[in-house]
Amino acid sequence: MEKAPLYDTDRYTALDRWQMVHSASHLEILDEVARMDQTEDWTFDGASSMANWLVNRYQMSHRTASEWVRVANKIQLLPAIKAAYQAGRMSWDQVRAATRLATSETDDEIAEMAPDTPVRELNKKVRELNCRHVEEVHRDRNFTWRFDENLPVLWFSGKMVASEGVEFVKAITRLAAKAPAQPGGTYEPFEARCLDAVLMLASQSRGADSDPDRATAVVHIPLAALTDDQAGSESEEGVPLLAETARRLVCDARLQVNVADETGTVIGIGRTTRTIPHWLVRIVRKRDEGCRYPGCRRTRWIHIHHIIHWAHGGPTDLDNLISLCPYHHRLIHEGGWHISGDPNGKVVWVMPGGHPYIPGRRDRDAAATEVPMLDDWTIPEHLKEPDDTS
């Protein structure tokens, strides 16, 4: 009996070709992810980031989604690495490392080196890159900030040597890790949760200050700002606030809010203590058991929101109050969404275009269409085998 060959070369060849097809197809996905991230189309579904949208849509882990988004954006700036991945000369793991190592100046060099370099060696180079210039970083450690003159944004940045930032990172990441999941068990980007943790620590530190002048953040709100979208407000530092932001702060803020009439006379001092009585807050939280955005159910850092704002005649009672996490509270006030219905029963979230939001909804026609197996005509030309019949 003739012995079978040790391996099937045809299967090896087929697997090699499908790996190249996989790389080329994945690159097309990454290109679309980059385009969608740049246009911020993910906001239409109430997602907090492109990575969050991917997690919600395709049920992938947040770590995988975040890496897709990072590589998708970085590889657009690295044409040589992009071409190598498209041709199937680099694996996904190699591309991940290469996009961390390469700059526009070293793109060609890394694209030439990476395909023949084991992943473990590439990852080692990434670690070495991160450890360079420690002394320079220590000398240049800093923290700077500025308020944007044109946007309601505080810009800040800083750097420190990693070994000196261990306790800082531990404190922030510990709080960030405790942040609750979003709809469908997804999470906001880790960076966003870390910022929330920084704000929480700063708020706690300021709140513990015995000097009320230092421990209270003051916001000056003209009465018109609560009823007129064109009216403006500002913080004590002179930072302008949008009208909807002022309304959000008045909902359930931990601030001192000075409400003034058109003459500038203060007619109310609110939120040094809450306007909503503590007993009512407890009832609302017990009823809602977390944020009421579909599937969110966050229970930390919850705001109590007036469905009909009190400046528009909405009462401060159980039928008009609902629990929202900070992100979905901003979605209502600054994002153009709104809520209808009875918070004691069922509420409907309505998107800016006026359509009710249906969690996890996909294009049913597209989902029902059978996706055919890749045939020869679907394989990119540069991956097809040469025609030997001619």
Lowest mean pLDDT segment, chosen from 46-60, 196-210, 309-323: 196-210
Based on the domain organization, do 124 and 27 belong to the same domain? yes
CB-hemisphere CA count at 13 Å for 323? 22
Residue 57: pLDDT band (50, 70, 90) is confident
The reply to whether 56 falls in a domain is yes
Q: Among 275, 303, 322, where does a domain finish?
A: 275
Based on the domain organization, do 78 and 149 belong to the same domain? no
Q: Among 116, 132, 148, where does a domain finish?
A: 132
Mean pLDDT of the chain: 75
Based on the domain organization, do 23 and 117 belong to the same domain? yes
Lowest mean pLDDT segment, chosen from 1-10, 20-29, 170-179, 207-216: 207-216
Question: Torsion angle of alpha carbons 308, 311, 313, 314, nearest 10°?
Answer: 30
Residue 169: pLDDT band (50, 70, 90) is confident
Residue 239: pLDDT band (50, 70, 90) is low
How far apart CA 149 and CA 114 sit, in angstroms, is 44
Residue 284: pLDDT band (50, 70, 90) is confident
Q: Among 167, 184, 211, where does a domain finish?
A: 211
The reply to whether 187 falls in a domain is yes
Based on the domain organization, do 158 and 174 belong to the same domain? yes
The reply to whether 390 falls in a domain is no
Based on the domain organization, do 85 and 127 belong to the same domain? yes
How far apart CA 105 and CA 110 sit, in angstroms, is 10
The reply to whether 304 falls in a domain is yes
Phi/psi for 338 (5° steps) reads -150, 165
Do β-strands 338-341 and 347-350 pair in parallel, antiparallel, or remain unpaired? Answer: antiparallel
The reply to whether 52 falls in a domain is yes
If you average pLDDT over each of 95-104, 149-158, 292-301, which comes out highest?
95-104
The reply to whether 233 falls in a domain is yes
306 and 324 in contact (C-beta within 8 Å)?
A: no
Count of the separate structural domains present in the chain: 4
Classify residue 382 as exposed, middle or buried by CB count within 10 Å of its CB (0-12, 13-18, 19+).
exposed
Based on the domain organization, do 285 and 207 belong to the same domain? no
Pull the structure tokens for residue 372.
């055919």
The reply to whether 71 falls in a domain is yes
Based on the domain organization, do 166 and 244 belong to the same domain? no
Residue 79: pLDDT band (50, 70, 90) is very high
Based on the domain organization, do 198 and 231 belong to the same domain? no
Based on the domain organization, do 260 and 330 belong to the same domain? no
Based on the domain organization, do 333 and 367 belong to the same domain? yes
Based on the domain organization, do 160 and 48 belong to the same domain? no
Q: From 248, 245, 215, 251, select the one nearest 233 (Cα to Cα).
A: 245
Structural domain that includes position 58: 9-132
Residue 371: pLDDT band (50, 70, 90) is very low
Based on the domain organization, do 18 and 128 belong to the same domain? yes
